Each structure stands twice: as structure tokens, then as C-alpha cells.
């Protein structure tokens, strides 16, 4: 039996369907779906994993944070534990029967490690099994047939590189997280996460925020005029001095000109600008482009993975920006001669020669991201189609001609003051016809010639201030991480997601919380190695050398442990200062504002029962408080409520969209209002119900019973309602319970 192992279930199913000459049979093994068919060589069975089916961990003895010092984890034994018991069981069962195993996981560092992990499990029950490896960059018939026709060997060096990353990240992350969390007194779900890649990335965000806070705006003025051409067209011109830094200077220029003055064209230059086509998508460029149309990095990669496993695009984790010679690019475009992109494909196919653009990075593992097959919009959800369309259009654009712009630069004299205006018009769309994202708009000027005279309709002076540097968007941050060697194409988006889940950042562009600032400040002051990219990029380079077979894995692991020992030496010298620094910084992240009743700080607090609320530091003299939701992490933003002087808050729950609660006092007032409205509504509904008018209207009171009640002195509904049920029961022999039921019906 030939066992083929894919990285995911859907990939196994698709590959089996592609390779089978007949219908595949679904068979359940140890609770896991497998796919099989008979071939000339015998039975072939396909199984999909779930990514990593084992994980690295420390022995249970190291789990107690209070008893085991953080630095003891540096040299601790590392064990392997199963995370997918059913899949491991199925692998062992199938592995015993297998005469051959083919690893068909994704071809990158992680994929090679995932395949090697599965192979190790099979070798436990079948040590002599024969195995090989197949590489593919798209799950399409052509790519899969080619891969299985040319099997190769498992690259254990590449797998070791992936394994070394797991070990290093576990040891660094677990030991430093434990140390910093204990120092800050933040345990349980509120622990402070520290990581080899995560912390330098967070430091970049905090550093940018500090630049913004330290920024001192400088006032300036802009002078512009609205002109009217001979043909009656209106257009705007700006003073040659882009920014007036002195108010007196702009006032002096204003004093010279007035509405109704002539504006004479003194210079007119027309030229042509060539706008080159974009380069092919690699992972970083793809995430950046997806970010510009509203996708988070993690969501873009999640959807890209779905498109890949369904055979619609090529492998989305790649550094390559040069199409390899092995791809028949014309044939790839011909796929789209029908369907939604027909007109674009046919236009490109008119070219005698298809010459794509090339980026600066060229690798041999995977090609740039390109559309692998034709898809219909009905086959996808809205987000999937949006990204698929972007990949198709980018692919087409790399073969297209440059876009040509006609540019016009003009200058005008108004009473000795020089003004200018620039215009641009797209005359040849070129690649922008295929790839329309973020296209600049035409800036049209009226037709004119030098010495033409226009009239001044309006003069405008606008007071402005210089702006601080912008926060990083996710796409921009990933580019910087790539430049600094932080993480890999496969991990950078996960690092950013982790910063959100740890409540270190919020919003997009990314804004750090006070907690993030406290952690980074402490690390930079007492253990700067953790917050700088140098150490991380050095280890990344060493892992690349493992993959290339230049150095053994153990050498890099030992080096990383030595580096971490030095970090703990730094931490140990400043233990008390670290604790004080963290606790002071974390306290700031709990301040919501100032109490309107006593002027003390309003803080996020916890009750004796563990519930949380916003309370006043002036307690017990001041008892002002506001409620908070029971679940989720509270993020204090920098947006201030003008009515109550309190910072808006955001609630973060794992796996859910952030809840922008806004001003907690406004929210509470609105909640109270809603509650009152609901009570009033219920009261009105209750009063609207028709009450019984006679005894016979009450359910269960017949004519005989009504006569008994009348004999007992009850002759109306109101009298029955007000009667003593016990006394009435004695007088009429009617059970007390029944009388009370009638009375409640009346009410």
C-alpha cells in the first residue's frame, strides 16, 4: 500500500481526486477520513494532517510558575506531545501496512517539518518503510501530475531549521514571559507575553508612538487662489511658497493681490511620464496590497490559504518576485479566455511576446503568487473573490505595457506673486486597466497657452500645522519586519495577530496600549537585547544556514541558549527595578479619567468577589462607580469623551470582533435609559391586558362556585381579589391554592 500524506484534509482529498483515474473511495480510519483508489501499482491511500500534529513542551514538573524559576527553562528537557490523537493513531495504523510513504506537505520550512513529524510517527511502527517527497506550488492537475512524476528526497536540513525555530521560540517565549509576568504580578489569563520576534516588533510600534507624542507641531500657512479661464472653467493654483512659516510673510503676499486681479500664464511645460507595471506578488507585497483594500494581514493569509488548497491560486508563502522559466505563462493566461476576466486575457494574448516584470528577490522554492485556475464568482464568498480577483489582476498587470501620463506644469503671475498648478491626465492606461487598485485620479487643467490671462475669483489662506509621523498599518509593519529580519513570510502576520490578542495593540494603524509601553520601556532599560532586532535577525540567519546544511541544529540551539543566559544575567541584576517599572506602567493602563465628584483617578478595579468595575481611588470617601462587562480585556484608548472627561474603552474577546464600548459613563447612562424604557414598556403591556370583569370571566369558576362565593359575601371580582384566601377557604370549602390562583389571575 502506498500512503500519501498531505498537510491538510482538503489538500489530501483534492490531490487524490486529481491522481485517481476512477472515483475515489472515502474510508474512515481511527476517526479520520482518508481517500483511496486502486492503481496499477496497487492501493493508494491519502490522508490529510492538521498542520502540526505534535507540539514541543516542557515536562509537567516545569509548569508551576511559583516553584520553578524562569531561567530553569533555558536548559530544561523538551518533550514532544501529540495534539491530534486521532490523526496520530490513523498514521500508525496505516503506517504498519504501508510499503511506501510519500510526503506531500507544503514545500517550505514548516511543511518539511510537518512531513518529517508524520514520518517519525510512521517509523515508530514501520522502521524500514520506503519514503520520498513531492514538491508543488499549486494544487492543479498539471502541477500535481508533474510533482508525482518527479519525486525527490525529504530535506531533513530544512525540517531541522523549522524544528530549531520551534525550540528557540518555546524556550525564549516561555522563560521570558514567566519572568516578566511574575515581576509585574500579572498571572493567569492576564500574563505578559514576551517573545523573540514579538517583542522587537512591539518595540517598533511603541517607538513610533513615542515619536508621535514627542512631536511638536509647527504652524504654517498655505496661500491659494481660484482662477477663471477664458472659457469659464475654474481651477485652483497655489503660491510658489508651499508653506509660509511666518504669518507676516503670507500677510504681505495677501496684501499685494485681490479678487479681480489678472493671473498671467508665465510658463507652461507639457511632458510625458511613464508609470512602470508592478512586479509579481510575493507574500509581503500581497499582504501590503490586501491591507490597502481593507484586509488584516492574518485574514488575508487565511483566505489565501483557502484559495490555495482549493486550487485557485499558487502557494501564498513565497519570497520570490520572478516567475520561473518552468511556468508556461502564455498557457496560464489562456486559462482565462472565458469567464469574468475574458477581455483582459484576450487583450494580453494579442501580444507577440509576453515579457513579465521582475522584482528584486528570486528564489527557487516557489514562484510568485499567481492565479492557478479559472474560478467563478459563485464558487467563493465575497472576501475570497475580492482577493482572488486582486491576484488575477496583478498577474495580468505584470505582462502589460507601462501606463502613460501627460503632465502639465504651469506658473502664473498675480501682481508680482508667483503661483503654480500641476495637472496630469492618463493617456495610455497600460497596466492600470488590468490592475485598478489605488490608482491616482486625473488632475485636469483648462486648455491654455503662455501669456493667457485668467481672472482671480477667490483668494484663500489656510492655517495648518505639521503632523506627527503616522502609525504603522499592518502592511507597512510587515515590510519593516522583513527589512529587519524579524520573523519569516509564514510567521509575520501571526506575530501581529498575537500582539492584538495579548492586548498590546489596538486599532489599525496599530496603536500600543500603556501595558505595551510599560513592557517595552522595561525591556529596553534593563534587557535591551530582547527589544532589538539584532539578536532575532542573527538567529534567523543561523536557521537559514541550518536549512542549507552549513551548520548543525544543535550548534544554533546552544548558541541561542547562551544568548538567553546573558539576557537573564541582565534581568537578575535589576529584579526590583524591573518589578517597580512594570507595575508603575501597568497602573497607568487602568486609569479611565478623573472622578467628577471628588477629582481622584477613576480606575479599572476588581471587587472582593472577582468582578470588575470602574471605581474611584477616593474610596471609601467617594463611592462613585461604573459597571464593566464581565468578559474580555479592557483597552483604554486615547479618545476622550468631551462630556465626562473619560477615555473611551474597547473590549477585546478572543476570536471575536473588538467591542468599542466608548465612554463608560455615556454607555451606562444609555443603558439606564434603555432599562427604564423596557420597564415602562412592560408596565404598559401589563396594564393593557383585559382584566376579568365578572366572576364567570375567571377560568375555573363555574355557576355553582360563584354562588358559594356570593353566599360567603363575595359578589364581585374586586372583592375576591381583596379577600383573605384562608378565611374564604374555610367558609366555602374551596382549596386555598385554587383561591390564590384566581386572585393572581385577577392581578
Q: Taking every pair of C-alpha atoms in the chain, what is the biggest distance, in angstroms? A: 116
301-319 as b/e, with b when 16 or more CB fall inside 10 Å?
Answer: bebbbbbbbbbbbbbbbbb
Query: Measured on CA atoms in the order 501, 503, 506, 508, is the torsion positive or negative?
Result: negative
CA end-to-end span of the chain: 78
**Gap between the Cα atoms of 305 and 321, Å rounded:** 19
Closest alpha carbon to 553 in 278, 266, 159, 185: 159
Helix (H, G, I), strand (E, B) or coil at 439: coil
Q: Which three cell numbers stand for residue 266?
A: 508665465
Distance CA 123, CA 117 (A): 10
Cα-based distances in Å from 106 to 109, 136, 283, 683:
9, 8, 15, 64
Q: What sign does the CA torsion over 307, 309, 312, 318 have?
A: positive
| Number of C-beta neighbours around residue 400 at 10 A | 23
As given in the structure block, the three cell numbers for residue 211 are 515619536
Distances, alpha carbon 336 to alpha carbons 343, 393, 496, 536, in Å: 9, 11, 35, 43
Cell of 357: 516584470
Cis peptide before 467 (omega within 30 of 0): no
Q: If we measure between CA atoms, which residue out of 156, 138, 122, 125 comes closest to residue 47?
A: 122
3-state secondary structure of 245: coil
Q: Give CA–CA dist 290/437, Å, rounded.
A: 10
Which listed residue (35, 220, 315, 434) is catalytic? 315
List, in sequence order, the alpha helices (H) in 185-218: 198-214
On the CB side of 466, how many CA atoms lie within 13 Å of its CA? 12
d(CA 308, CA 117): 23
Residue 228 phi/psi, 5-degree rounding, is -125, 125
Euclidean distance between CA atoms 106 and 162, whole angstroms: 13
DSSP 468: P
Task: Name the packing angle between helices 297-309 and 492-501 (round to 10°).
Answer: 130
- Residue 230 contacts residue 208 (beta carbons within 8 Å): no
Q: How far apart are CA 499 and CA 317, in angstroms?
A: 21
How far CA 450 is from CA of 229, 265, 413, in Å, comes to 13, 5, 11
- Report CA 232 to chain centroid distance, whole Å: 50
570 neighbors 527 (Cβ within 8 angstroms): yes
Is 315 noted as a catalytic residue in this protein?
Answer: yes
Q: What angle do CA 43, 48, 50 make, to 5 degrees?
A: 160
What is the C-alpha separation between 89 and 134, in angstroms, rounded?
24
Crossing angle (nearest 10°) for helices 514-526 and 198-214 = 110
Q: What angle do CA 285, 105, 290 make, to 5 degrees?
A: 20
Find the helix packing angle between 297-309 and 382-397, rounded to 10°: 80
CA–CA gap between residue 652 and residue 187 (Å, rounded): 18
The C-alpha cell at 599 is 477629582
Check: CB of residue 745 under 8 Å from CB of residue 692. yes
Which amino acids are annotated catalytic? Answer: 315
Amino acid at each position: 500500500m502506498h500512503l500519501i500524506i498531505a498537510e491538510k484534509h482538503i489538500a489530501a482529498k483534492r490531490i487524490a481526486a486529481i491522481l485517481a483515474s476512477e472515483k475515489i473511495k472515502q474510508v474512515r480510519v481511527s476517526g479520520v477520513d482518508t481517500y483511496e483508489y486502486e492503481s496499477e501499482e496497487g492501493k493508494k491511500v491519502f490522508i490529510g494532517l492538521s498542520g502540526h500534529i505534535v507540539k514541543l513542551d516542557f515536562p509537567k514538573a516545569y509548569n508551576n510558575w511559583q516553584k520553578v524559576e524562569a531561567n530553569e527553562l533555558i536548559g530544561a528537557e523538551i518533550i514532544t506531545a501529540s495534539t491530534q490523537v486521532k490523526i496520530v493513531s490513523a498514521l500508525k495504523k496505516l503506517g504498519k501496512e504501508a510499503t511506501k510513504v510519500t510526503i506531500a506537505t507544503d514545500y517550505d520550512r514548516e511543511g518539511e517539518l510537518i512531513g518529517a513529524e508524520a514520518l517519525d510517527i510512521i517509523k515508530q511502527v514501520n522502521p524500514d518503510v520506503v519514503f520520498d517527497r513531492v514538491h508543488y506550488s499549486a494544487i492543479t492537475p498539471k502541477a500535481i501530475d508533474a510533482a508525482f512524476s518527479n519525486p525527490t528526497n525529504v530535506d531533513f536540513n530544512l525540517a531541522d531549521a523549522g524544528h530549531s525555530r520551534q525550540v528557540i521560540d518555546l524556550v525564549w517565549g516561555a522563560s521570558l514571559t514567566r519572568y516578566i509576568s511574575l515581576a509585574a504580578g500579572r498571572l493567569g489569563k492576564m500574563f505578559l507575553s514576551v517573545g523573540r520576534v514579538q517583542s522587537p516588533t512591539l518595540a517598533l510600534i511603541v517607538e513610533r508612538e513615542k515619536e508621535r507624542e514627542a512631536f511638536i507641531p509647527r504652524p504654517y500657512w498655505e496661500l491659494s487662489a481660484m482662477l477663471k479661464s477664458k472659457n469659464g472653467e475654474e481651477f485652483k493654483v497655489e503660491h510658489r511658497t508651499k508653506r509660509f512659516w511666518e504669518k507676516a510673510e503670507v500677510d504681505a503676499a495677501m496684501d499685494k493681490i485681490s479678487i479681480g486681479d489678472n493671473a498671467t500664464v508665465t510658463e507652461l511645460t507639457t511632458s510625458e511620464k511613464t508609470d512602470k507595471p508592478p512586479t509579481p506578488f510575493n507574500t509581503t507585497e500581497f499582504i501590503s496590497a490586501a491591507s490597502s483594500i481593507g484586509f488584516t494581514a492574518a485574514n488575508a493569509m487565511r483566505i489565501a490559504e483557502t484559495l490555495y488548497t482549493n486550487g485557485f491560486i499558487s502557494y501564498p508563502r513565497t519570497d520570490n518576485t520572478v516567475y520561473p522559466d518552468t511556468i508556461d505563462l502564455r498557457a496560464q493566461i489562456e486559462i482565462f479566455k472565458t469567464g469574468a476576466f475574458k477581455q483582459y486575457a484576450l487583450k494580453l494574448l494579442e501580444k507577440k511576446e509576453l515579457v513579465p516584470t521582475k522584482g528584486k528577490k528570486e528564489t527557487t522554492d516557489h514562484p510568485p503568487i499567481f492565479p492557478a485556475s479559472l474560478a467563478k464568482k459563485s464558487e467563493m464568498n465575497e472576501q475570497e473573490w475580492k482577493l482572488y480577483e486582486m491576484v488575477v489582476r496583478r498577474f495580468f498587470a505584470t505582462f502589460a505595457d507601462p501606463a502613460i501620463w501627460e503632465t502639465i506644469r504651469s506658473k502664473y503671475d498675480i501682481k508680482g506673486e508667483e503661483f503654480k498648478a500641476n495637472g496630469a491626465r492618463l493617456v495610455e492606461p497600460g497596466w492600470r486597466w488590468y490592475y485598478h487598485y489605488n490608482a491616482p485620479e486625473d488632475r485636469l487643467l483648462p486648455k491654455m497657452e503662455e501669456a493667457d490671462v485668467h481672472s482671480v475669483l477667490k483668494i484663500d489662506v489656510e492655517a495648518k500645522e505639521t503632523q506627527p509621523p503616522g502609525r504603522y498599518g499592518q502592511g507597512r509593519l510587515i515590510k519593516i519586519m522583513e527589512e529587519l529580519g524579524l520573523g519569516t513570510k509564514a510567521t509575520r502576520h501571526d506575530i501581529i495577530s498575537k500582539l492584538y490578542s495579548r492586548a498590546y495593540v489596538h486599532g489599525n494603524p496599530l496603536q500600543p496600549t500603556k501595558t505595551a509601553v510599560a513592557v517595552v520601556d522595561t525591556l529596553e532599560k534593563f534587557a535591551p537585547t530582547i527589544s532589538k532586532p539584532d539578536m532575532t535577525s542573527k538567529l534567523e540567519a543561523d536557521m537559514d544556514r541550518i536549512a542549507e546544511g552549513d551548520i548543525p541544529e544543535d550548534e544554533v540551539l546552544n548558541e541561542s541558549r547562551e544568548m538567553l543566559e546573558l539576557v537573564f544575567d541582565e534581568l537578575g541584576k535589576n529584579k526590583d527595578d524591573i518589578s517597580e517599572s512594570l507595575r508603575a506602567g501597568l497602573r497607568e493602563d487602568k486609569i479611565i479619567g478623573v472622578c467628577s465628584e471628588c477629582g481622584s483617578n477613576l480606575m479599572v478595579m476588581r471587587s472582593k468577589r472577582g468582578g470588575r468595575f470602574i471605581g474611584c481611588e477616593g474610596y471609601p470617601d467617594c463611592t462613585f462607580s461604573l459597571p464593566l462587562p464581565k468578559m474580555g480585556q479592557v483597552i483604554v484608548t486615547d479618545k476622550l469623551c468631551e462630556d465626562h472627561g473619560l477615555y473611551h474603552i474597547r473590549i477585546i474577546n478572543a476570536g471575536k470582533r473588538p467591542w468599542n464600548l466608548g465612554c463608560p459613563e455615556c454607555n451606562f447612562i444609555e443603558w439606564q435609559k434603555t432599562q427604564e424604557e423596557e420597564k415602562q414598556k412592560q408596565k404598559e403591556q401589563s396594564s393593557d391586558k383585559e382584566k376579568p370583569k365578572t366572576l364567570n370571566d375567571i377560568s375555573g369558576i363555574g355557576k355553582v362556585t360563584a354562588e358559594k362565593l356570593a353566599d360567603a359575601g363575595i359578589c364581585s371580582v374586586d372583592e375576591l381579589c381583596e379577600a383573605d384566601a384562608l378565611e374564604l377557604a374555610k367558609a366555602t370549602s374551596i382549596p386555598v391554592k385554587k383561591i390564590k390562583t384566581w386572585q393572581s389571575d385577577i392581578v
